[in-house]
């Protein structure tokens, strides 16, 4: 249209925004296996149709930390299909790219690589599903970055402090500063914000001419005292925040009245849980930026599978049945059948005229049976809808209202079954379960060396990231550090040792030192496998790994860990190459015995008296040198002190308040499909 040609001129940035694509989710499911791939194809096709300048992804591009071969192949195929071509790039990057992409072996944007032909560059931060792991700190996004298909930014390598350096872009007269921060554990990032350890760098010149866009992937809603990031923690010079990780689609920008910036939450493009937040209609955003004004257009996704959810409280139907009614279970089942049928009819009506929408919807009916009602057989009930729904195994979800928790005065005989019995545990993390367990057993069953946070983090790495050495290395690392502490304190008696260990453990709770120890232990777990030459190969690439039969030769050599179960190699019952045939069977799956039983069962006193200790490793400190960048940057800490006297805009030392006090921001949001209206004539932001 004519108005579209007028709006999308040489000064207007066009950015496609999407978050939480979760590529590869349920890829082995016969019905839902291709949902995430179809939606990514639609998103990239939309970017090419609208001729955007670049794509901005807000984390969790992949659902698994180690995506399968099929998942990587599909992603690379689609990125090559839609993002490569001969269309010229209309904007320039004027910042120091060696700082922006400091974790890459090719520290420059992919479209400036002379060996590549990129038509739509894609920029992405990592999420909590595809975050960097291992000694090298690599993730699946780094594979795409090394291949030149995607630009991975926002990766912070330090746990002591974070400096966020923006990617400075310019198109015509419009200047855009793109900030990004990949996923970090919420408790740690919360503490770093409180301690003023998070710094956002800004251009020293013409600060009020830059549109500041920030991509973040953290908890936005409060899940605990420090298990989220309040919007008030972010700097107030920002114009728009793209918030990832939250799956509910709240893409219409909402204004933070305290910090005076806007927040858009695109949500996920595929439903990864059957919760109410996933039931909202899925959208992506087309952001236009011209000068300091912006316009965000919502684009509904057509390939997303429909999802309907309802809540039924059986106590709200006294006219139909009560717990004492004859055949009440059959009547409850009939009510649920009617509710599911209604949702299926609604899904069929909405699907008319949308051929891209999958045929079978997702249906969830949450039934509250509090008040003495009984449940019925859900599998038999689901058989009635096998041909009509995409999730026949979990249509019905029974729950009861949480009853009043009784006080456990008997600390010895604790009924753990009653403590852990909850209505629903959807979305609960392993780390949270560990904290809940030790909170219930604080007085009777207590950790001596480790903290609950450390044990929970190591267990989470073991479960989610398949780091099988994480727990053992954390225990070994804490044991060594405690031994050195006791030697420095010259503690000798057993009673004094127990007291000093307890005090030393409590002093590290909820501190940066605790985070450093956890990260160091996980790094050592990865490095320990590398040193032994037992780096595991991805199961999708090689299922037939032969072990070196001479790797554990010699009477004192520790047995190497092979693929398969236990310490044995290929071929069970002692015939393999992984361990000697005379070795006893290992006690745990996937773990070789690294020391004798006497060594493993030694007490703290015996370990303290041992003469040999393994030296600890220190993490490298990352130093970023931005002395040769084209656009000089300045550092702004939170909260910076106000200058005593007002300085001019040409001064060499700006604060984030001095530039914002003289500027105003204009915004306009387009919720309709009318493209004739000029979005840049919206109301201007109030002056600060």
Active site residues: 129
CB contact burial 246-281 (16+ within 10 A = b; e otherwise): bbbbbbebeebeebbbbbbbbbbbbbbebbebbbee
Query: What are the backbone angles phi and psi of residue 353, rounded to the nearest 5°?
Result: 85, 5
| Residue 196: CA count within 13 A, CB half-sphere | 7
Residues 6+ apart with CB under 8 A from 654: 202, 204, 207, 634, 647
Burial class for 379, CB neighbours closer than 10 Å (0-12, 13-18, 19+): exposed
Is 366 in contact with 352 (CB distance < 8 Å)?
A: no
Structure tokens at 311: 């809540």
The two structure tokens encoding residue 28: 């082995």
State the DSSP code for 88.
P
Task: Round to whole Å and give the CA distance between 92 and 178.
Answer: 13
Tokens 């949500």 correspond to what residue? 267
Token digits of residue 463: 């479960």
Question: Which among 193, 178, 42, 71 has a CA at the least distance from the CA of 130?
Answer: 71
Is residue 285 a contact partner of residue 251, using CB atoms and an 8 Å limit?
yes
E strands of 606-665, at which residues?
Answer: 633-636
To the nearest 5 percent, what fractions of the chain are helix, strand and coil?
Answer: 30, 15, 55
Query: Computed from CA positions of residues 350, 356, 359, 363, in that sequence, does the dihedral angle turn out positive or negative?
Result: negative
Q: How far apart are the C-alpha atoms of 63 and 22, rounded to whole Å?
A: 4
Question: For the range 618-626, what are the long-range contacts, defined as Cβ-Cβ under 8 Å and sequence gap of 24 or more?
Answer: 618/520, 619/159, 619/516, 619/519, 619/520, 619/523, 621/158, 621/160, 622/102, 622/157, 622/158, 624/99, 624/102, 624/163, 624/165, 626/96, 626/99, 626/165, 626/201
13-18 β-sheet, strand order: 151-152, 122-124, 54-57, 13-18, 283-290, 293-300, 666-670
Tell me the longest C-alpha to C-alpha distance in the chain: 86
Distance of alpha carbon 57 from alpha carbon 35, whole angstroms: 18
């Amino acid at each position: 249209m004519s108005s579209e040609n007028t709006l999308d001129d040489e000064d207007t940035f066009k950015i496609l925004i999407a978050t939480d694509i979760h590529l590869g989710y349920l890829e082995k499911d016969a019905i839902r296996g291709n949902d995430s791939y179809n939606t990514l194809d639609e998103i990239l096709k939309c970017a090419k149709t609208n001729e955007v300048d670049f794509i901005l992804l807000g984390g969790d591009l992949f659902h698994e930390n180690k995506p399968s071969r099929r998942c990587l192949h599909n992603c690379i195929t689609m990125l090559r299909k839609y993002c490569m071509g001969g269309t010229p790039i209309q904007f320039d990057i004027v910042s120091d790219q060696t700082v922006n992409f400091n974790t890459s072996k090719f520290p420059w944007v992919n479209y400036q690589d002379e060996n590549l032909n990129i038509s739509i560059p894609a920029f992405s931060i990592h999420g909590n599903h595809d975050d960097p792991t291992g000694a090298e700190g690599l993730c699946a996004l780094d594979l795409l970055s090394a291949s030149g298909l995607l630009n991975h930014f926002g990766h912070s390598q330090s746990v002591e402090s974070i400096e966020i350096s923006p990617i400075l872009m310019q198109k015509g007269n419009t200047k855009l500063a793109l900030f990004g921060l990949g996923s970090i554990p919420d408790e740690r990032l919360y503490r770093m914000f409180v301690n003023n350890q998070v710094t956002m760098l800004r251009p020293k010149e013409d600060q009020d001419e830059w549109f500041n866009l920030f991509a973040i992937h953290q908890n936005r809603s409060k899940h605990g005292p420090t298990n989220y990031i309040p919007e008030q923690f972010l700097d107030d010079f920002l114009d728009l925040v793209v918030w990832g990780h939250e799956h509910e689609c709240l893409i219409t920008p909402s204004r933070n009245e305290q910090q005076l910036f806007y927040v858009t939450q695109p949500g996920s493009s595929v439903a990864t849980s059957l919760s109410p937040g996933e039931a909202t209609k899925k959208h992506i955003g087309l952001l236009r930026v011209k000068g300091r004004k912006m316009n965000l257009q919502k684009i509904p996704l057509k390939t997303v599978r429909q999802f309907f959810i309802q809540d039924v409280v059986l106590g709200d139907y006294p006219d139909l049945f009560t717990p004492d009614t004859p055949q009440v279970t059959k009547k409850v089942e009939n009510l649920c059948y009617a509710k599911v049928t209604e949702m299926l009819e609604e899904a069929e009506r909405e699907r008319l005229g949308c051929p891209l929408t999958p045929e079978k919807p997702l249906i969830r009916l949450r039934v509250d049976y509090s008040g003495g009602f009984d449940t019925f057989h859900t599998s038999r009930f689901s058989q009635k809808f096998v041909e009509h729904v995409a999730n026949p195994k979990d249509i019905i979800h029974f729950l009861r209202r949480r009853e009043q928790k009784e006080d456990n005065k008997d600390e010895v005989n604790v009924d753990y079954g009653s403590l852990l019995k909850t209505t629903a545990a959807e979305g609960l993390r392993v780390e949270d379960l560990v904290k809940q367990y030790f909170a219930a057993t604080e007085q009777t069953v207590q950790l001596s060396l480790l903290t609950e946070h450390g044990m929970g983090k190591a267990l989470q790495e073991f479960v989610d990231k398949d780091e099988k050495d994480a727990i053992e290395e954390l225990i070994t690392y804490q044991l060594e550090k405690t031994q050195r502490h006791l030697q420095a304190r010259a503690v000798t008696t057993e009673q004094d040792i127990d007291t000093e260990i307890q005090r030393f453990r409590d002093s590290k709770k909820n501190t940066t030192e605790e985070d450093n120890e956890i990260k160091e232990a996980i790094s050592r777990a990865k490095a320990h496998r590398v040193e032994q030459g037992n780096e595991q190969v991805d199961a999708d690439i090689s299922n037939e790994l032969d072990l070196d039969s001479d790797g554990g030769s010699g009477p004192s050599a520790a047995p190497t860990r092979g693929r398969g179960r236990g310490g044995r190699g290929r071929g069970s019952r002692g015939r393999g190459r992984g361990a000697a045939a005379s070795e006893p069977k290992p006690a745990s799956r996937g773990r070789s015995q690294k020391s004798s039983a006497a060594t493993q069962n030694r007490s703290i006193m015996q370990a303290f008296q041992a003469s040999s200790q393994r030296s600890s490793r220190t993490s490298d400190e990352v130093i970023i040198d931005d002395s040769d960048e084209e656009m000089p940057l300045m550092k702004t800490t939170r909260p910076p002190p106000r200058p005593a006297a007002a300085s001019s805009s040409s001064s060499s030392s700006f604060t984030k308040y001095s530039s914002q006090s003289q500027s105003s921001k204009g915004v306009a949001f387009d919720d309709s499909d009318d493209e004739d209206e000029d979005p840049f004539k919206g109301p201007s932001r109030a002056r600060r």
